[in-house]
Amino acid sequence: MARRSRAREVVLQILYQEDLNPDADPRLADEFLRARLKHDENLIEFGRYLLIGTREHRKKIDMQLERFADNWSLRRMAATDRNLLRLGAFEIIYSDTPARVAINEAVELAKRFGGKHSPQFVNGLLDRILKSIQAEGSDPA
């Protein structure tokens, strides 16, 4: 597994945990990140960037997900899918990760951790967000 893919996997685990346990101490997330990424400072910094960014932009990201998720509310989505979408949308909208890389990474995580239809669901929704951004003229790809 590529190093950054590993960081995304750990961040997904943290986002999932925080989604299900919103009162958890956020400092535990950093300890988990450091331990799971074997104290590799570059990966830890990348993981922190993804985690903090996803947390900070969560409300705006959730609004985008609700906007493009036909007949789906965030509450109805599987927790894994919901948090994969949040992470992928953060990378597409706010980071310098190429959009297609962000989508591919999210789909790969969906294959590993999601349900049978998760990869298609994640791919379709993130692709709709990307196309919307491109149509508005601020191409993140």
pLDDT band at residue 1, thresholds of 50, 70 and 90? low
Ordered by start, the domain boundaries in the chain are 3-135
Q: What is the mean pLDDT of residues 81-101?
A: 97
pLDDT at 27: 86
pLDDT at 138: 58
pTM score, whole prediction: 0.93
57/79 Cα distance (integer angstroms): 18
43/139 Cα distance (integer angstroms): 26
**CATH code, 3-135:** 1.10.940.10
Q: Is the pLDDT of residue 122 over 60?
A: yes
CA dist 126 → 23, 63, 113 (Å):
28, 13, 17
pLDDT tens digits for range 104-118: 999 999 999 999 999
Q: Is the pLDDT of residue 139 over 60?
A: no
pLDDT at 93: 96
* Mean pLDDT, the chain, whole residue set: 93
Nearest to 9 by CA among 141, 126, 110: 110
pLDDT tens digits for range 22-74: 998 888 999 999 999 998 999 999 999 999 999 999 999 999 999 999 888 89
Cβ atoms within 10 Å, residue 55 = 16
